[in-house]
Amino acid sequence: MDEWIEKLAVCVERGKVNKISPYPPDLKDQEGADELAKRALDTGLKPSDILEGCMVGMEKIGDKFGKNEAFVPELLMAAKAMNAVMVHLEPFFKSGDVQRKGTFVIGTVTGDLHDIGKKLVSMVVEGNGWKVVDLGVDVSTEKFLDAIQQHPDCIVGLSALLTTTMVNMQKTVEKIKASYPKTKVLVGGAPLTQEFANQIGADGYSSDPQGAVKLLN
C-alpha cells in the first residue's frame, strides 16, 4: 500500500480529522485526513487512490463496529475524517475523474423518526465509494418511488427502529417491487431479522453498517 494511502487509512479509521483536532489523543498535533488529502493531491497522487485510503479506513472501523470493538462516537469521528477528505475529492467526482460505485437511496420509513442508525449507515456507505441520497426520516413510499425514478440504477435502503413501523416497511417494499421490479431493496434496523426481510420480499438485510456495505459491493 502506498505510504499516502496508508496514512489516510489510519487517519480515517482513527478519526483524525486535521492537525488541530485533539482526537485521538495519541495523534495530537499530527497532520490529519484533511492535510494529508491535500498534500497527496499536490504531489500528484490520483484522486481514486486517495478514495481507496478512505475506503480502507472506513472498512476497518466498520468491521470493528460490527464486532463491538468500536462504538458510535468512534464511527462518527471516522466519518468526520472521511468527510474532510471528500471535500478535496468532490471536484473530481463532479468532473467524472473519480467514479462512484453506484447510488444508494436511503430513508427511515413512514411513521418512524429515528435517524442515528440511518446516518451511520449513510456515512459508512459513502466512505466506501458510493453516492448516498439520504431522504431523511418519516419517508413516504411515494418519496422513495420518486427517488428511484430520479436515480434509476440505485439500490434502496429502508430503515426502521419501531416494531410498529415495520408494517410500513413491508408496504414500501411491495410497492417498490411492483413499480420497479429490478430495483434491489436492503432493509435494516434494531427490530428486524433476516426472516422478516425474507418475508417482506427484501433483497438483503444487515444489522450493522459494514454488513450493508458488503451487500452493496
Which three three-digit cell numbers place residue 70?
468500536
* CB contact at 8 A, 192 and 199: no
Percentage of the chain with pLDDT > 90?
Answer: 73
Peptide bond into 22 cis (omega under 30): no
Can you tell me which residue has the cell 417494499?
A: 173
* CB contact at 8 A, 157 and 104: yes
Domain 3-95 class, CATH top level:
mainly alpha
Rounded to two decimals, the pTM is 0.81
Domain 103-216 class, CATH top level:
alpha beta
Residue pLDDT, tens place only, 2-36: 888 899 999 999 999 999 999 999 999 999 999 99
Closest alpha carbon to 172 in 163, 182, 161, 159: 159
The yes-or-no answer to whether 3-95 and 103-216 have a common fold is no
> Does 66 or 16 have the greater pLDDT score?
16
Which three three-digit cell numbers place residue 6?
496508508
Residue pLDDT, tens place only, 128-161: 889 999 999 999 999 999 999 999 999 999 999 9
- Return the domain boundaries, the chain: 3-95, 103-216
